[in-house]
Amino acid sequence: MAIVTWQPRDVGEVASIATADHPGLTRLSAPGSTYRTFDSSADQPVGPLNGSLRVESYYALYVETETNRGRRQFKFVPSNNATPQLRFGYRYVVGLGRDTRDGTLQPFTADLPALATQAEPGIVIESVGLVFARVRGELEIELIDPSNPVQPPTGEITSNDAARMLMQATYGPTTASIQELQTLGSFDTWIDQQFAAPISLTLPYVRATSNGSLGSTRHHIWFDNALNGTDQLRQRVALAWSELFVISDRDYVLSNSQYSVSQYLDLLAEQGLGNFRTLLETVTLHPAMGVFVSMLANERADPARNVRPDENFAREVLQLFSIGLYELETNGEVRTQNGRPIETYDQTTVEEFAKVFTGWTYDGLRRWNDNNAGFQDRESPMVPYEEYHDTGEKVLLNGTVLPAGQSARADMTAALDNIFNHPNVGPFISTHLIQRLVTSNPSPAYVGRIATVFNDDGSGERGNLAAVVKALLLDPEARQGHVTQPSTFGKLREPLLRLTQVFRAFEAQPGPSSDGVYRPEARSINAIEDIVGQGVLRSRSVFNFFRPDNPIGPGSDLVSPELQILSEINVASTNNMFFNQIYGFNNRSDGYGAVSRLQVEREVQMAGDPAALVDHLDLLLMAGALPPAVRNSIIDHVGSVPDTEEGRFIRALDAMFLVTGSPFHLVQK
Amino acid sequence: MSFDRSLHLINSATTTSAGTTSTKSKPMGRRKFLTLAGAATAGVTLSTLPMGFAGPAAAQTGSRSLVCIFLRGGADSFNMFVPRDHGVAGQTHAVYAATRGRFAVPAGSLLPIFDGQFGLNPGLGGMAAIAEAGQLAVVQNVGPLGQPITKTDYLAGRSLPQSLFAHDAQQKLWQTARPTLTSSTGWAGSLAEIVAPNAPVAPSFSLNGSNRWQASTGSRYSRLSPTVPISLLHGYSSEQRTWIPTFEGVQDTLAANLSAARASSNVFDQAAADSLSQSITTTQQLQSATADNAANDVGMDDVGRNRLGMQLREVARLIKNREQLNMPRQIFLVRVGGWDTHQDQEGRFPALLSQLDGAVTSFQNAINNLGLADSVTTFTASDFGRTLTINGDGTDHGWGGNAFVMGGAVSAGRYGTFPDLTASATNPDDISDGRNNFAGRLIPTTSVSQHGATLARWMGLNDAQLDQAFPELRNFGQRDLGYLA
């Protein structure tokens, strides 16, 4: 039986349904506007309909299928819409219907593109079809734009749901932040508040506490901001940008330019929720990036001496910062030709872009080759020297030609526009942000929805990062993926985020002799990467700590970027760090005074009731994801410890270690 | 039940900020040892582990260890091995110097090796001595190829390896010895599966993280650290925590929950459980063999803070202990970055060479002193060679490069075909298409398949196994490059 791939058509087409074909039905409206009503007491096919439907007053979704045994209907109820029971080999026509058994009205939403992709491989929804209205009374249909997902009604955020959002969008939930979010009752509003929160910075602290060659101060303030900053979401997004627009102070020059590196981080925070085109230019012209990926002082060709422009930035800005190696559909799937992925650019294109990125260097110099560090402005954007800029014609992506004779800045602007407008950018950037915040293997439909927002935020703006971040957090897959795709949703936590989560959860305080600096057990925070495998702006190359396509296992189609840095050694050292931190550095400990202390009194107070204690930790550390058997085994152990004053202390510590030391804690879902 | 409130005592007995591991053995006491992931009891005596390998009888006498030194970033290896007194047209020092301009190493500075027609960069004095001892071979102009490719093929886009000139793609092609990115496993992974099937701890170790070379569906390589010593996992090992009186219960609960995670339907739970289990097993099996103590001294303290040397020192320890570890075949990856010298090459390259040379020399001396020279072979690999021409103060991505092989089993000399270095669009070994864009990106004349197969054969693979591990090998005339006895 032939299977035809279903391409969702514009929802705008729905408005063209001719009412003459459907007696009793008035014209259906376009997406976003309100519903139509009609009366019917018999089956009334209406359609075809495309895109998503939010249905008020529907009780069930019927799928009608042609099989070799005739026409059959399957009914789906709203609570069961995760398992559509669609089977390979059948052609489906999707319809909507109502069951009048008890007459209650229930809101019902079907994301039909998602339904299609969640079905068994090979399934096609050939057309979205027919509304079967077995109703008496009102039937309201609203068509919604699939890129504008449905949000749960306000006031109904469970504590687990709140914790899950906070895990995705902050450095870790706290009891207070969970309650605040529940009270607020709206993720949308919370996100807006986060966007408006004052920005936590790095540079002022670094400038005040060091002469710029000390790497540790940058890490101290990063940790402080992560634990205490109010702009949690902005900082998480900035961290995500730091893992795309990678610089690293393992570079010798940057290790001695901590003001520059700190300012770079601050710009990622300040501009990370603005427009992508602006962010791309800021990163391109930042001297720290100029140093790290060698665009700084790149000169145009000198053929007589066989000297060509440096290709480093030209290649990496394409491969790593914007479009990647292969052409992508809007939903992130790689486009192929004859079984091979279609490359987005070739060596020649790299050479052409290399010509664009010539003639730029530090602001403040007395001349092009001025090596006196005192004149190198490492915080202002780089400036052009026309004499060293290639003035030839350049052929960029998609055949765009920059004419000869343009200034360095004109070429730069045009080249960044050329990159920015490449269709890959939406899915490439969306996938990156989704992977950093939510899940390693977003469905193509999810990527497509977010990339669509990147392409146009609804008001015609391309690259609106705030809209993209909000959309990806509010998306049904982010909010409910753990329910709808339990086997593949989620991600291994980044090691640094495991650490911040534990510190935030237990309100860690700097050690008594630490001068207010946070230090986890065993290492100062700037050397923490030896223990946990990761440090902020400390990767060994521009390729970040891990690649987005790192497979979860040989031969698997699923990826797990964070798995790339999980080694036998750092699994052990991280485990032992948490062990020592919990048992050895809590608020009742003496000992090495520089290490931060976890506050455990709240847990000790709760330890009289083992189930309450474990549920509290399950919520705080796992958003309720501990399997029931595991939860029970921890409760059993806690209950086996005597319920004395001393025993409750041990109960609390044992419970904390049993959660953080379990493999489940490595996972966010 | 009472317990000691001064839990700070934990610090004195566990891994502290200095990174020193407590090697004091804890009494097992009444505690039943948790057997996790099928591990044997903790300790050094692992001779009961089954450690068979399958391979032809011919090459299997004695143990053998293979060490890959991956120079990440694309090493400018045409400045490491340089024509000196070599008369072949297009390959003379004069041509080399004209093409490389300011970066050319003067002939008089080169350290002559073999018959003196070629020399090593003066920064590789230790490797020159290794060559002098007959323990160095050079594989010339090697790189990823699916089949032999000419300039005409390149310009027509025929049968080219995928994503040339991109770092991560080319690293993967080197590590899988394939011309496309379709393989998620590498040839060292295939090697480990064949020479050490069913090993509880695969004799395959990376001293610098995840890589595709060792990735395998049937065999798990271990990722060790040269700076963070192996420590047993608290809660998952046999260590006692008598000052936490409930710790036995904690250990039991953790073990049960590890099993639960392994059985979870969520792939990330499974991956986490897998990583934890692997860590438990590996740390137990290897702690003793890698500890920084007198028994494991391999005489490589001269490496100091040389990060490559520190990795190779761990390798040497594991090689020294290979009998105790019951590993007649071992595979190691060591790796350092920084070779992507787009800028300031004149400043950075000497330091990179010094790091490589110092580490390799110390390692080779240690192996020689252990009397194991004939059974340890070390080879270099890198994403690609670099452009022969410069970009002002550095070089950019190339393709073919020179690789080095060292060890007592090596037949000294140069192998493969040295390319034409002429700075001209008509240079047949370069990819330039004549639009005045000559860069000196050389088409390899020897493939990674052939290079890897030569090494894998030495490790015990027969012809059939070689064709499986290197599917493109059959496209090349020479299946064995001949540099290993």
User: Does B26 fall in a domain?
Assistant: no
pLDDT of residue A35 exceeding 50: no
- Please state, as a whole number, how many other Cβ atoms lie within 10 Å of the Cβ of residue A149: 21
- Interchain proximity A637–B439, CB inside 8 Å: no
- Read off the pLDDT of each residue in A607-626 and give the average, rounded to a whole number: 96
How many structural domains are present in chain B? 2
Q: Do A128 and A155 share a domain, yes or no?
A: no
- Residue range A440-477, pLDDT digits in tens: 999 999 999 999 999 999 899 999 999 999 999 999 89
Q: Do B260 and B361 share a domain, yes or no?
A: no
- Cβ–Cβ contact A522 with B under 8 A: yes
pLDDT of residue A38 exceeding 90: no
Asked if A141 and A53 touch (Cβ cutoff 8 Å), the reply is: yes
- Interchain proximity A634–B253, CB inside 8 Å: yes
User: Does B481 fall in a domain?
Assistant: no
Q: pLDDT band for position A92 (50/70/90)?
A: very low
Domain that holds residue B278: 1-15+36-50+230-290
- Quote the tokens at residue A643: 């319920």
- Read off the pLDDT of each residue in B66-82 and give the average, rounded to a whole number: 98
User: Does A554 fall in a domain?
Assistant: no
pLDDT of residue B31 exceeding 50: no
Rounded-to-integer distance, Cα B400 and Cα B419, Å? 9
Q: Last residue of a domain, which of A245, A274, A303?
A: A274
Rounded-to-integer distance, Cα A563 and Cα A435, Å? 13
User: Does A559 fall in a domain?
Assistant: no
Q: Do A230 and A182 share a domain, yes or no?
A: no
Residues with Cβ < 8 Å from A496, sequence gap 6 or more?
A528, A532, A534, A535, A536
- Residue range A319-361, pLDDT digits in tens: 999 999 999 999 999 999 988 899 999 999 999 999 999 999 9
Measured in degrees and rounded to the nearest 5, phi and psi for residue B195 equal -85, -15
Q: Do B274 and B296 share a domain, yes or no?
A: no
Which chain B residues have a beta carbon less than 8 Å from that of A308?
387, 389-391, 396, 437, 439
Look up residue A548 and give its DSSP letter.
Answer: T
Asked if B151 and B428 touch (Cβ cutoff 8 Å), the reply is: yes
User: Does B171 fall in a domain?
Assistant: yes
Q: Do A455 and A487 share a domain, yes or no?
A: yes
User: Does A557 fall in a domain?
Assistant: no
- Cβ–Cβ contact A334 with B under 8 A: no
Q: Do A595 and A634 share a domain, yes or no?
A: yes
- Quote the tokens at residue A481: 């993926």
Q: pLDDT band for position B291 (50/70/90)?
A: confident
Which chain A residues have a beta carbon less than 8 Å from that of B201?
none
Domain that holds residue A258: 198-274
- Residue range A384-407, pLDDT digits in tens: 999 999 999 999 999 999 999 999
User: Does A170 fall in a domain?
Assistant: yes
Task: Provide DSSP, A601-618.
Answer: HHHHHHTTSHHHHHHHHH
Task: Provide DSSP, A337-401.
Answer: ETTEEPBS--HHHHHHHHHHT-SEE-BT-SSTT---GGG-BSSSPPEE-GGGS--S-EE-GGG-E
More confident position, B120 or A487: B120
pLDDT of residue A517 exceeding 90: no
Residues with Cβ < 8 Å from A508, sequence gap 6 or more?
A227, A502, A518, A596, A597, A598, A599
Q: Do A515 and A659 share a domain, yes or no?
A: yes
Mean pLDDT of chain B: 87
Q: Do B299 and B436 share a domain, yes or no?
A: yes
Q: Do A505 and A648 share a domain, yes or no?
A: yes
Q: Do A172 and A220 share a domain, yes or no?
A: no
- Cβ–Cβ contact A556 with B under 8 A: yes
User: Does B413 fall in a domain?
Assistant: yes
Q: Do A136 and A33 share a domain, yes or no?
A: yes
Q: Do B347 and B261 share a domain, yes or no?
A: no
How many structural domains are present in chain A? 5
pLDDT of residue A621 exceeding 90: yes
pLDDT value at residue A522: 65
How many contacts does A have with B, using Cβ atoms within 8 A? Answer: 286
Q: Do B297 and B240 share a domain, yes or no?
A: no
Q: Do B110 and B190 share a domain, yes or no?
A: yes
pLDDT of residue A24 exceeding 70: no
Q: Do B195 and B270 share a domain, yes or no?
A: no
- Interchain proximity A315–B245, CB inside 8 Å: no
Q: Last residue of a domain, which of B264, B290, B316?
A: B290
CA distances (Å), A556 to each of A423, A441, A654, B185, B281, in order? 27, 12, 36, 11, 24
User: Does B485 fall in a domain?
Assistant: no
pLDDT value at residue B61: 58
Distance in angstroms between the alpha carbons of the first and the last residue of chain A: 38
A575 closest CB neighbour out of B99, B222, B234? B234
pLDDT of residue B40 exceeding 70: no
- Interchain proximity B439–A629, CB inside 8 Å: no
Angle subtended by helix axes B167-176 and B187-195, to nearest 10: 30
Q: Do A369 and A459 share a domain, yes or no?
A: no
Q: Which of A580-594, A651-665, B56-70, B124-138 is predicted with the least confidence, judged by mean pLDDT?
A: B56-70
- Read off the pLDDT of each residue in B243-252 and give the average, rounded to a whole number: 89
User: Does A451 fall in a domain?
Assistant: yes
pLDDT value at residue B242: 73
Q: pLDDT band for position A114 (50/70/90)?
A: low
A657 closest CB neighbour out of B217, B230, B235? B235
Q: Do A134 and A191 share a domain, yes or no?
A: no
- Quote the tokens at residue B118: 């070629």
Q: Do A162 and A217 share a domain, yes or no?
A: no
Look up residue A658 and give its DSSP letter.
Answer: H
Q: Do B167 and B134 share a domain, yes or no?
A: yes
- Please state, as a whole number, how many other Cβ atoms lie within 10 Å of the Cβ of residue A367: 8
Q: Last residue of a domain, which of A423, A451, A480?
A: A423
% of residues, chain B, pLDDT over 90? 75
Q: Do B223 and B309 share a domain, yes or no?
A: yes
Which of B391, B432, B438, B442 to probe by mutation at the A interface, max A CB count within 10 Å?
Answer: B391
- Residue range A557-603, pLDDT digits in tens: 899 999 999 999 999 999 999 999 999 999 999 878 889 999 999 99
Rounded-to-integer distance, Cα A289 and Cα A60, Å? 55
Choose among B262, B189, B176: nearest CA to B219: B189
Residues 50-109 of B with CB under 8 A from A: 72-73, 99-102
Rounded-to-integer distance, Cα B134 and Cα B413, Å? 8
- Read off the pLDDT of each residue in B334-345 and give the average, rounded to a whole number: 95
pLDDT value at residue A97: 39
Q: Which of B11-15, B420-424, B451-455 is predicted with the least confidence, judged by mean pLDDT?
A: B11-15
User: Does B28 fall in a domain?
Assistant: no
pLDDT value at residue A523: 67
Choose among B391, B333, B332, B397: nearest CA to B168: B397
Choose among B303, B298, B301, B329: nearest CA to B315: B298
Residues with Cβ < 8 Å from A84, sequence gap 6 or more?
A63, A76, A115, A118, A119
- Cβ–Cβ contact A315 with B under 8 A: yes
Rounded-to-integer distance, Cα B324 and Cα B320, Å? 9
Mean pLDDT of chain A: 81
User: Does B266 fall in a domain?
Assistant: yes
pLDDT value at residue B392: 86
Which chain B residues have a beta carbon less than 8 Å from that of A580?
10-11, 14-15, 234
Q: Do A98 and A215 share a domain, yes or no?
A: no
Largest CA distance in chain B: 87
pLDDT of residue A150 exceeding 80: no
Choose among A492, A487, A489, A488: nearest CA to A479: A489
Domain CATH for B340? 3.40.720
Choose among B235, B263, B274, B241: nearest CA to A658: B235
Which chain B residues have a beta carbon less than 8 Å from that of A586?
7
Q: Do B206 and B307 share a domain, yes or no?
A: yes
Per-residue exposure over A72-93, b if at least 16 CB sit within 10 Å of its own CB, e if not = eebebeeeebeebebeeebbbb
pLDDT value at residue A60: 37
pLDDT of residue A145 exceeding 50: no
